[in-house]
Chain A
Amino acid sequence: MDEQSVIEARDFTKKFGSFTAVDSISFTVAKGEIFGFLGANGAGKTTAMKMLTGLLTPTSGQARVAGFDVWHEADKIKRNIGYMSQKFSLYNDLTVVENMTLFGGIYGMSMPEIKDKAAQVIDKLAIKSFKDRLVASLPLGFKQKLAFSVAIFHRPQIVFLDEPTGGVDPVTRRQFWEMIYAAAENGITPFVTTHYMDEAEYCHRVSVMVEGKIMALDTPAALKARYDCKNMGEVFLKLARNPG
């Protein structure tokens, strides 16, 4: 595996019975690159992400994630990645600090390390007055920003973000993307799915999955030029309009 790539998949495939959810996809993601993983509902994104994060065993093909093999080193992959989604990110019935302590502990950080890092996050998000409140009581915008901070708390090589900004207000959505950029500049590779097509433009490279296959993979500028489209929304409509 190339030293500068953090994900490398070759002929990566998952079948459920006779249905091929992920059909022989091959791609690499470079360190520090913001990688957009797009596709219509049911195109196979979630299945592919589950395999990349070590939650699901592939049917065939190869992939190395954070330098580890998905077939034999799923546990090591899990230790070296972060994950957040719109649906699940933090425990609502724990406080802000308790959540950080729990996730830091799961990822094997020491107590002094956790305390130090927690102080940094609280300071950066300006949420000192919230630190001992239950996560359930936080406004959604704060929750999502906090969830992202917790997902990269242990300085993973890659952070998987599954529709992280769904339903979030437009100001927070943009603040969230600034956090993604900052993480990428610190060498953490964001791997992002989104249904907001403006967000596809913020990615360094974007792949579009259609019926289990990667139909296109390039920079937003190159994709727009190739398909003669004004924006990524048009590119997506052109590629992803499937019969389902």
Chain B
Amino acid sequence: MVEFNHITKKYGPVTGVQGVSFKVNPGELFGLIGPDGAGKTTLFRMLTTLLLPDEGSLSMAGKDVVQDYRFVRSNVGYMPGTFSLYQDLTVAENLNFFATLFGTTVAANYALIEDIYRQIEPYKTRRAGDLSGGMKQKLALSCALIHRPLVLVLDEPTTGVDAVSRKEFWEMLKRLQAGGLTILVSTAYMDEATLCDRVALIQEGRIMQLDTPEQVISGFSRPLYAVKGERIHRLLEFLRQLPQVVSAQPFGDSIHLTLVAEHCLPEVQASILQERPDAVTEAITPTIEDCFMDLMPATHG
């Protein structure tokens, strides 16, 4: 449905994205996972015809995005990272405006947005600028969907959003996907990767890995252990000075540990218990965040 082919974009001397290629299948929920500045927005802006690539080609539904920009514009729904609706129009006016812009009506496509729009309909006479963050997001999503696009592009929809609302937002995306929509979504929250069908892990303009979340995780090269104990920060300092430890990184209430070799585990466990009799060490399955950190260039930071 969407195809990026060796896409490069530079901003003066700064490289936005470098030689990026990937395909998104029809009906897929595809995630671009990476921190701010990785190039996620640049890729989305090229796909939505708002930026021209310097090199490479990209297509949507078999049509070239640069040549057939009109086709793309009428078939893509785009929700930018910053709120971009008209602040001084009401909820209903914004929705009507976008429907009219695409030559359709709210009534014609109401079924598609009903699930989302119903939640903000009680406030339909309120100006968009006066809505709470969560309601703005629902309105923006409704406006991006009102022309029944083939592809929905969401740029960091959950940035700055609390854990509860993030969960609800992803439930909403899953329902839209079930209706047949192809969705591209970007996020800096690594835990959201597992909610996508496939993900591209992106950093500094390059895709480091592209696969299903399960495959990304099973590709993690070394055994991983979690150490749980009190006073994480002190425990971390202790673990980092052990010669058998390659990396020790805090993950909430535990520390994730990789070792020079698997057979070092008993020695390491003995050292830990000597220092912290209450600490528990166990083998664990890595998270996407472990994988991302493992893939990041060693020179970083």
A residues less than 8 Å from B35 (CB atoms): 140-141, 167-170, 172
Q: Is B134 an interface residue (CB 8 A)?
A: yes
B residues less than 8 Å from A61 (CB atoms): none
- Asked whether, in the complex, the Cβ of B159 is within 8 Å of the Cβ of A40, the reply is no
- Asked whether, in the complex, the Cβ of B292 is within 8 Å of the Cβ of A170, the reply is yes
Q: Output the least CB separation between B202 and chain A (Å).
A: 11
Selecting from A68-76, A110-118, A151-159, A173-181, the interface stretch reads: A173-181
B163 in complex: contacting residue of A171, A197, A220, CB < 8 Å: A197
A residues less than 8 Å from B263 (CB atoms): none
B249 in complex: contacting residue of A174, A202, A244, CB < 8 Å: A174
How far apart are the CA atoms of A135 and B89 in the complex, in Å? 36
- Asked whether, in the complex, the Cβ of B164 is within 8 Å of the Cβ of A171, the reply is no
B residues less than 8 Å from A240 (CB atoms): 162-164
B residues less than 8 Å from A163 (CB atoms): 160
Query: Which of A126-177 touch B at CB < 8 Å?
Result: 139-141, 163, 166-172, 174-175, 177
Query: Which of B132-163 touch A at CB < 8 Å?
Result: 132-134, 156, 159-163
B residues less than 8 Å from A140 (CB atoms): 35-37
A residues less than 8 Å from B253 (CB atoms): 201, 220, 231-232
- Asked whether, in the complex, the Cβ of B301 is within 8 Å of the Cβ of A170, the reply is no
A residues less than 8 Å from B37 (CB atoms): 139-140
A residues less than 8 Å from B161 (CB atoms): 41, 195
Query: Which of B172-218 touch A at CB < 8 Å?
Result: 188-190, 203
How far apart are the CA atoms of A220 and B230 in the complex, in Å? 11
- Asked whether, in the complex, the Cβ of B232 is within 8 Å of the Cβ of A171, the reply is no
A197 in complex: contacting residue of B160, B232, B252, CB < 8 Å: B252
Q: Is A106 an interface residue (CB 8 A)?
A: no
Q: Output the least CB separation between B235 and chain A (Å).
A: 12
A residues less than 8 Å from B300 (CB atoms): 141, 169, 171-172
A167 and B188 in contact, given A174-B249, A177-B250, A202-B250 (Cβ under 8 angstroms): yes
Q: Is B70 an interface residue (CB 8 A)?
A: no
B residues less than 8 Å from A200 (CB atoms): 252
How far apart are the CA atoms of A174 and B252 in the complex, in Å? 10
- Asked whether, in the complex, the Cβ of A170 is within 8 Å of the Cβ of B159, the reply is no
Q: Is B107 an interface residue (CB 8 A)?
A: no
Q: Is A187 an interface residue (CB 8 A)?
A: no
Q: Is B165 an interface residue (CB 8 A)?
A: yes
- Asked whether, in the complex, the Cβ of B301 is within 8 Å of the Cβ of A41, the reply is no
How far apart are the CA atoms of A163 and B289 in the complex, in Å? 19
A-B residue pairs in contact (CB < 8 Å), sample of 18 = A40-B165, A42-B132, A42-B134, A140-B37, A141-B300, A167-B35, A169-B35, A169-B292, A172-B300, A195-B160, A195-B166, A202-B232, A202-B233, A220-B253, A232-B252, A236-B162, A240-B164, A244-B134
Q: Would you list the 9 A-B pairs with minimal beta carbon distance, nearest first?
A: A169-B35, A198-B252, A167-B36, A201-B252, A40-B162, A201-B253, A167-B188, A140-B37, A41-B133
Contacts from B to A (Cβ < 8 Å): 34-38, 132-134, 156, 159-167, 188-190, 203, 230, 232-233, 249-253, 289, 292-293, 296, 300-301
Given contacts A172-B301, A244-B132, 19 further A-B contacts (CB under 8 A): A40-B162, A40-B165, A43-B162, A140-B35, A141-B35, A141-B300, A163-B160, A166-B159, A166-B160, A167-B36, A169-B296, A171-B293, A195-B163, A198-B250, A202-B250, A202-B252, A232-B253, A236-B164, A240-B163
